[in-house]
Structure formats: structure tokens, C-alpha cells
Amino acid sequence: RRRHTRYIGDWSSDVCSSDLKLEIVVEDDQIDRLVELLVESARSGKIGDGKVWVTPVEQMVRIRTGESGPDAI
């Protein structure tokens, strides 16, 4: 079973500011490590560091080829 991990955060500096949204689909056994890496990489301790949430992916289809399931990743 696959899960969809999503990170939405805000990166800012003295020069510029922009939003970032990542959507990553991984196997269940990769979720904890991915979340750990995202949190470690994104944490600045400031407001706007972002959030990570994990949701199930019920089905995936690659439109171009019609592949579905694990073949569509």
C-alpha cells in the first residue's frame, strides 16, 4: 500500500520569499524515514517552517501509458 506524503512550507531570507509544495508517493515502509528527512531539512525553528502530512493513495494511473498501480510510479 502506498502513502502520499505532502510537505508545504515557506522558505525565506533577507532577499526573497517563496512557497514550496512537494507531493511525494512512497511505499509504506519508506514513510517514517521520508518524514524524518523532510522535517530535519525544513526545520529552521521559525514560523512558517511548514507541515508534513501523510495520506493514503488509493489508486494511481499514468495517463500517457495507462499503467496503473506500482508500474505508474
pLDDT of 7 reads 58
Contact 5, 50 (CB under 8 A): no
Specify the pTM.
Answer: 0.63
State the Cα–Cα distance between residues 8 and 57, nearest whole angstrom: 18
Express each pLDDT in 1-42 by its tens digit: 555 655 555 544 444 456 778 888 888 899 999 999 999 988
pLDDT of 12 reads 45
Q: DSSP state, 63?
A: T
Reading the block at residue 6, the C-alpha cell is: 505532502
